[in-house]
Chains A and B, each alone.
Chain A
């Protein structure tokens, strides 16, 4: 019955082999790999308290006043260098022997469905990547398994309709009153920003048909930060209340804080590391910059920004930090120690003072809650991942950071 399907798979396998089967020469040896390893190690400066790099002046070619007018050649002054606070919470990450905390206050997914706070596990018709309540959509808005479809669901999770999505997924505000994604349809890409409660509240911006675009975060009811991804790299864009789209001079955007109008961005990239900044959306001026951390999303109240080591390992972060979003000061840090490396999957803000993440140490997997005061607790029963053969829990795509 699957003959044609299997034939295509076999044809695909043969075609891939034909592309590379004669490829055998590798133009580097052990010494080059060792040299690169030493550079990576040298750049792993994750110890807090390292003097932060001097703030830099950034000339932004086009400045934007949110709710105002565009100004060309808006020169931005250096931001004051942040200081290191006296008290910083430091906690060693582990999944063993942790106190058991209350269940997560945000939804998360398991192989059985979605676990909703206070309601337990609800079975889902598909393996969604995100789920947001929306009376405007009939009950819920879900992100499809491949992130290429946004699905409207009834309160009982029955499919009511759908919209194409660009594969980047969607973004929501902390209150989840707005949701935004890019709709690629009929050769046109439209950036949509929709109220989850009022079906008439929709704002859209037309983007070029290529390269593919996706939403990073929502700045307000009429402004969105997005990225486009082409073979030549990522471009950061800002969709403004005036209906304009403006390219920002940064390599990537990582998070958006609608409460204080802040955006976390990557400003430069070197061999496996780089520098990051928090910029003010109103002026595009940097509030502060760091080359010691890779920045992520903001806490729901905008007080903190999540961060990890500036040259995070490809396996996933083995540490997570909470920085003061106004100054860049380190507030709390949760890091693996010695050989006991704990990998964090999809760390996400649960509240203004807690981060939730799936944590893996060896083959043991659990969900942990990290508090801004340094407390660490498990919030799900540990699972032996090697026996389970699957990632047992993960938070929604729209909430995940880093």
Chain B
């Protein structure tokens, strides 16, 4: 009986330690994750939902991630895949198409006022190309790290990034440093 009691206490301690450890990581990283999520989704409400879901999935997988140094990559991978996934597309459909579910009104300070012209164009890129742009040029990840997170080849990362830059250059020649005054 004594053993059982001790075991029970031990398990409770472990669970508490696990929660504390996760909470510490979450508090340290959630603002950064929100910024990345905003760049992936383009609006604050979707970004918050994406971060919360990704952290929840990380919480469920916490014991599986033995290398704590790989947590950032792991949660980024969850987040990007979630954003590209069927579920999020379906969720967005429900969110925007249903008349019965009231939309939560969010005053988004980042959606008003002057925006960077490039940011406007980034939002028109296909979802996966946008993920490459965000990971490469905002998160400053290497091509190999980006490939690992997205589950695609390094070659595809290179070609997606190159294509995205070409698209931006084509759609906004006035922002392209290589465009001459006359061409503008």
Of A26-34, A132-140, A196-204, A217-225, the one touching chain B:
A26-34
Cα A122 to Cα B110 in complex, Å, equals 49
Chain A residue at smallest Cβ distance from B33: A26
B9 within 8 A of A: no
A265 CB, min distance to chain B CBs, angstroms:
11
B118–A111 touching, CB < 8 Å: no
B122–A16 touching, CB < 8 Å: yes
Chief secondary structure at chain B's binding surface: helix
A314 within 8 A of B: yes
A127–B156 touching, CB < 8 Å: yes
Q: Which residues of chain B have C-beta atoms less than 8 A from A41's C-beta?
A: 60
B147–A37 touching, CB < 8 Å: no
Q: A30-B19, A314-B85 are known contacts. Are A12 and B110 too (CB-CB below 8 A)?
A: no
How many chain B residues touch A (Cβ–Cβ < 8 Å)? 76
Cα A17 to Cα B116 in complex, Å, equals 10
Mark out the residues of chain A between 199 and 253 whose CB falls within 8 Å of any chain B CB in the assembled complex: 212, 229, 231-234, 251-252
Beta-carbon contacts of A359-377 to B below 8 Å, as 1s and 0s? 0000000000000000000
A381 CB, min distance to chain B CBs, angstroms:
18
Q: Which residues of chain B have C-beta atoms less than 8 A from A68's C-beta?
A: none
Q: Which residues of chain B have C-beta atoms less than 8 A from A389's C-beta?
A: 144, 147-148, 154
Chain A residue at smallest Cβ distance from B63: A339
B168–A314 touching, CB < 8 Å: no
A382 within 8 A of B: no
Q: A23-B35, A32-B52 are known contacts. Are A314 and B92 too (CB-CB below 8 A)?
A: no
Interface size class, chain A: 35 or more
Beta-carbon contacts of B129-171 to A below 8 Å, as 1s and 0s? 1000110011010001001100111111001100101001100
Cα A325 to Cα B48 in complex, Å, equals 38
A15-B116, A314-B77 known; 12 new pairs, CB 8 Å cut-off, are A5-B178, A13-B137, A19-B38, A20-B110, A23-B35, A30-B22, A33-B59, A36-B53, A40-B57, A146-B163, A233-B96, A314-B82
Chain A residues near B (Cβ < 8 Å): 3-5, 7-9, 11-13, 15-28, 30, 32-34, 36-37, 39-41, 111, 126-127, 145-146, 148, 167, 212, 229, 231-234, 251-252, 254, 266, 269, 272-274, 294, 311-316, 339, 341, 345, 389-391
Can you identify 8 A-B contacts, CB atoms within 8 angstroms? A15-B116, A16-B134, A17-B138, A20-B110, A36-B52, A146-B160, A311-B87, A339-B63
Chain B residues near A (Cβ < 8 Å): 19, 22-23, 26-27, 30-31, 34-35, 38-39, 48, 51-57, 59-61, 63-64, 77-82, 85-87, 89-97, 109-110, 115-119, 122, 126, 129, 133-134, 137-138, 140, 144, 147-148, 151-156, 159-160, 163, 165, 168-169, 175-178
